[in-house]
Amino acid sequence: MDERKKGTPSMGVIFCALFLTATFQVCFSAAKQLQSNMTRETQSPNSFGSSLLFPVQGDVYPNGFFYATIYIGNPPKPYYLDIDTGSDLTWVQCAAAPNAKLLKSPNKPYKPNNNALLCKDPLCPFVDQPTCKAPNDQCDYEVEYADSGSSLGVLVRDSFALKLTNGSAYKPSMAFGCGYDQEFSGPFPPPYVDGVLGLAKGKSNVVSQLRSFGLVRNVIGHCFSGQGKGYLSFGDDLLPSGLVWAPMLPNSLNHYVLGPVDLLFGQKASGAKGLSVIFDSGSTYTYLNPQAYQATLSLIKTALLGKQLSAVKDGNLPVCWKGAKPFQSIDAVKNYFSPLVLSFKNAKNVGFVIPPEAYLLVTSKGNVCLGILNGADAKLGNSNIIGDISFQDKLVVYDNERQMIGWTPSNCNKLPKP
Ligand SMILES: *[C@@H]1O[C@H](CO)[C@@H](O)[C@H](O)[C@H]1NC(C)=O
Ligand SMILES: *[C@@H]1O[C@H](CO)[C@@H](O)[C@H](O)[C@H]1NC(C)=O
């Protein structure tokens, strides 16, 4: 899910983008691009000795999102929050007023208790504030999502019930959004959750707040299993060795951007070169810019010539094929397809490999559909977004301490042992 910042400063908006699933509009200024520099490193020096680990629920299909359960308040109550590395504000649906406009959600909405942040609070400047005029005004926020989705509310502070992997329990008081006016629309239904766990780079991000309390390092990891479920971690002492790392590119919207990469299909160059890609767990699918999308689609179609697959309208996604008989699972069909590789230009033989099961899915009708979409159809302009489908069966780590992103193939059904 991506956040559109309003009043982006005069650096020049390069593009504005709409997301489909958890759907946000993004505008983003191109910042000076760093030379990409892949390095292989083992885990970074660990100074905190503890992490937070959350089991994750959800899947790419049919649900379209992954969530963690976070306990907030006193007594702590559960909230299912959509894990979103494409926006940085965490918010929960909130019964702030009798006429609150809430979406259908699995748990009871949060009840605020005169705990609103004021505009003078140091965290308030990190959200879009539609109403701050005086220091003692209430700190309202507004996030806009693509396809006209949005959340509007007020920042509040309350305790989060957390248990570190070293056994210590904490109840740090953290700022988050109490959202009393949510709207979602778009081609896919809104995620059935209580709110969003915003994990992009901004200061309002809860991991950045936990870091300021000295509880965990600002390192976020997600591991989504292809069979659904998985885990989320904050902190860096549970990371395995053998991760491949690439530096984050700076950008004005706090997105996790990597590049430049060339896109390969199998061993072949697709013609899509020098792309920058956004890692966004709030997006169900992967989006490519129109040229890269067309190039990829035509390579896939060429590779399918003479195979027993024919194009079919499925209703779930725009590009689907059927076989002689309905497919029961992706295993029955993945051998017809080659892996895609995001090949980092400045490093030979290292890349982000997207095997067929991380860009295809089998629908309830037994067809196989392409989970890579044309960014133009989603009004994403020229951006390339790597979404949940392509993160499956990998541990992906956003190390905000070192400004690096790492990954490794992983069995996400198995939680790491503290
Ligand atoms: C890339 O890596 C090389 C060797 O590890 C290093 O000398 C160089 O400074 C790095 N460049 C950037 C932009 O990080
Ligand atoms: C667990 O880690 C926290 C944060 O690093 C630390 O303050 C606490 O003392 C640790 N607890 C134990 C039992 O070691």
If asked whether residues 62 and 205 sit together in one domain, one would say yes
What is the 3-state composition of the chain as percent helix, strand, coil, each rounded to the nearest 5?
Answer: 10, 40, 55
Side-chain half-sphere exposure of 391, counting CA atoms within 13 A: 36
Which of the listed residues 205, 234, 263 is the one where a domain comes to its end? 234
How many other C-beta atoms can be found within 10 angstroms of the C-beta atom of residue 35? 10
The SS3 of residue 334 is helix
Q: Is residue 108 situated within a structural domain?
A: yes
Count of structural domains, the chain: 2
If asked whether residues 219 and 267 sit together in one domain, one would say no
Distance 346 CA to ligand 1 centre (A): 10
Which of the listed residues 199, 234, 269 is the one where a domain comes to its end? 234
What domain range is 152 assigned to?
A: 31-234
Q: Which two tokens stand for residue 169?
A: 């329990």
pLDDT at 97: 83
The SS3 of residue 185 is coil
77 contact partners, CB below 8 Å, separation of at least 6: 71, 107, 108, 110
Which atom number of ligand 2 is nearest to the Cα of residue 49?
A: 5
Q: Is residue 8 situated within a structural domain?
A: no
If asked whether residues 381 and 326 sit together in one domain, one would say yes
- Whether residue 241 contacts residue 228, with contact meaning beta carbons closer than 8 Å, is answered with no
- Per the rule left: phi > 0, alpha: psi between -120 and 50, beta: everything else, 38 is beta
Ligand minimally distant from the alpha carbon of residue 418: 2
The SS3 of residue 211 is helix
Indicate whether residue 346 lines ligand 1 (CB < 6 A): no
Which residue has a Cα nearest atom 12 of ligand 1? 37
Q: Is residue 110 situated within a structural domain?
A: yes
- Ligand 2: list residues with CB < 6 Å: 48-50, 164, 166-168, 215
Q: Is residue 168 situated within a structural domain?
A: yes
359 contact partners, CB below 8 Å, separation of at least 6: 286, 337, 340, 370, 371, 372, 389, 390
The SS3 of residue 11 is coil
Q: Which of 188, 1, 169 is nearest to 91 (CA)?
A: 1
If asked whether residues 128 and 52 sit together in one domain, one would say yes
If asked whether residues 340 and 371 sit together in one domain, one would say yes
If asked whether residues 198 and 305 sit together in one domain, one would say no
Which of the listed residues 212, 234, 256 is the one where a domain comes to its end? 234
If asked whether residues 263 and 205 sit together in one domain, one would say no
pLDDT at 28: 27
If asked whether residues 184 and 203 sit together in one domain, one would say yes
If asked whether residues 221 and 300 sit together in one domain, one would say no
pLDDT at 284: 94
Q: What CATH number is given to the structural domain containing 105?
A: 2.40.70.10
If asked whether residues 262 and 350 sit together in one domain, one would say yes
Averages of pLDDT over each 10 residues, the chain, 418 residues: 43 27 27 32 55 97 96 97 95 92 96 96 89 94 78 96 95 97 83 96 93 94 97 95 92 89 92 94 95 96 94 95 96 95 80 97 97 89 93 98 96 93
Q: Which two tokens stand for residue 271?
A: 């013609």
CA dist 249 → 246, 402, 405, 411 (Å) = 9, 12, 10, 28
pLDDT at 147: 53
Which residue has a Cα nearest atom 7 of ligand 1? 37
pLDDT at 314: 96
Q: Is residue 85 situated within a structural domain?
A: yes
Mutational pocket test of ligand 1: of 37, 346, 405, the residue with most ligand atoms within 8 Å of the beta carbon: 37
179 contact partners, CB below 8 Å, separation of at least 6: 91, 92, 93, 94, 151, 152, 153, 195
**Sign of the dihedral defined by the CA atoms of residues 87, 100, 157, 140, in that order:** positive
pLDDT at 348: 66
Distance 201 CA to ligand 2 centre (A): 25
Which residue has a Cα nearest atom 13 of ligand 1? 35
Which residue has a Cα nearest atom 8 of ligand 1? 37
Q: Is residue 51 situated within a structural domain?
A: yes
If asked whether residues 45 and 157 sit together in one domain, one would say yes
If asked whether residues 196 and 270 sit together in one domain, one would say no
